[in-house]
Amino acid sequence: MSETAAACSHDHLCLLYKSEAELLSVLLPFLKQGLARGERCLYIGDAPPDGAGFDALVQGGLTVLGTSDAYLKDGRFDLERMLEQFRELSAATRRDGRAALRVAGDASLVLNGAAGTERFFEYESRANGLFSDIEALALCLYDRRLFSPKHLRTVLRTHPLVIHRGAICRNRVYEPTAEFLAAEWTDAGIDRRLDEMHRAQMLEALTSAPEQAFHEQRLGAIGRLAGGIAHEFNNILTGILGLAEFVEEDLPPDSASRPDIREIKSLGLRASTLANQLLYFSQRRHSQPLRLELSSAVESFASGLRPTLGGDVSLSLAQGDRELFIEADPRALEIILGNLAENACQAMPNGGKIEIGVEAVTLSRPGAESKEWALLSVMDTGKGMSPEVQGFIFDPFFSVDGVSPSSGLGLSAVYGLVRQNGGFIEVRSAPGQGATFRIYFPLLPPPRPAAR
């Protein structure tokens, strides 16, 4: 399976191609994989590609729509209608028991001058928020022989993922919707670009050691495998849960089979949670980073953690007075803290202490300029780990004792989410001395005071 075919739900991709051969090399695997996964697949275009490969996909269940039928109503492109239509089609797809909605669309409609198409790229940008909420993915097709460089620059600004030379690439010139729609560059937009350049430079320097590079490559390979398995597994679970729902609806209220069906659904949801943890590790879940103040976010999440820890485990916070701003997905940060707290509790079966700290630190590494980072630390008083164990703790299903008390994916998900949000993680521990997980996020400058 090519990397292109590994696209999954919540992905919003674009392809900028120069030839029919380049188009088909991406489009056919993309659609073929969707049909194989039981997804509803739709191609939008006025001139479908020629060839037996595409015809076979149509015979296999691919739906083909013209651009006017898909994008226009009464000859006009309506942005709000398109977004709502996409949401409704995704919901109908799930009701039909399909795993996801997969769409490949020719975007040349924007060139025909139809009313409303001047807002087409606003639609492309706002669709990113939609994809984070629904089980759908889209591949937007742009023929470089037709579009001007100015148009193509806008295409790149609106798509978080780009397919280039057969690979899915994270787009470094992508702009979040609020930034894209702003009339002019804002301070926040400039800060984001500068922070991204700085983050890339720092991460390159911090991972330059040969042993660190090998470790990252090993986890990356495991992540790609895990992500593919998890996505296939999720598709199977979607069908199982959907069928269980239909069976339950058809059963009489007093049926003796109802408890069994509820157990099937419960186990299916647990398995879905397991698959999602694998997707977090593989960094394939769509991220929605926001500028947030780390201490305030941690304090808010910690209040929800305390009731889950049990009476023998205490939780305390160690935070300074300085506000530390980072760019991260709040949901990802919540999962990171929750999984680290769960891991700490497992290391303290007879009770103990967890301390969550937030502070600014300056890192000085060979070959890199000293910079400030926001450090989030989670310390426990558990049994600790040997250096040998520490080398494998982020591997999926690795267990210190050889028997994992839960899914064995909590720390794997933490690793993937930290990396996806621009940070890196290290662990400090020794047998009998507890463990401290230290997570470093690029530190943003404080917001400027509002003009009076």
pLDDT, averaged across the chain: 80
As a whole number of angstroms, the distance between CA 76 and CA 113 comes to 10
Cite the residue boundaries of each domain of the chain with CATH code 3.40.50.300: 4-183
Supply the pLDDT for residue 151. 92
User: Tell me: the pLDDT tens digits for 323-347?
Assistant: 999 998 888 888 888 889 988 988 8
Q: Is the pLDDT of residue 292 over 70?
A: yes
Task: Give residue-wise pLDDT tens across range 163-218.
Answer: 988 888 888 888 888 888 887 777 776 777 677 666 665 555 555 444 444 455 55
- The pLDDT assigned to 127 comes to 93
CA-based nearest residue to 441, from 415, 426, 423, 420: 423
Helices vs. strands in the chain: H and E counts, helices first: 14, 16
Convert the pLDDT of each residue in 100-117 to its tens digit. 899 999 999 888 888 999
- Of the two residues 364 and 319, the one the predictor is more confident about is 319
Of 17-21, 122-126, 137-141, 431-435, where does mean pLDDT reach its minimum? 431-435
pLDDT of residue 324: 92
How far apart, in whole angstroms, are the C-alpha atoms of residue 333 and residue 328? 7
4-183 CATH fold = Rossmann fold (3.40.50)
**Average pLDDT value for residue range 303-314:** 82
Percent of the chain with pLDDT over 70: 79
**Does the pLDDT value for residue 364 go beyond 70?**
no
Closest CA to 317 of 296, 344, 345: 296
50-64, 250-264, 338-352, 404-418: lowest mean pLDDT where? 404-418
Q: What is the C-alpha to C-alpha distance for residues 162 and 220, in angstroms, rounded to an integer?
A: 19
pLDDT at 285 exceeding the cut of 70: no
Domain with CATH 3.30.565.10 in the chain: 290-442
| Cα 103-33-106 angle, rounded to 5 deg | 30
Taking the alpha carbons at both ends of the chain, their separation in whole angstroms is 57
442 token code pair: 């690029």
* Per CATH, domain 290-442 is 3.30.450.20: no
Question: How many CA atoms does the CB half-sphere of 355 hold within 13 Å?
Answer: 10
More confident position, 422 or 352:
352
Q: What angle do CA 288, 82, 176 make, to 5 degrees?
A: 25
Is 11:137 a contact under the CB 8 Å cutoff? yes
Hey, is 63 helix, strand or coil? strand
From the options 3.40.50.300, 1.10.287.130, 3.60.20.10, 1.10.1760.20, give the CATH code of 210-281.
Answer: 1.10.287.130
The whole-model pTM stands at 0.49
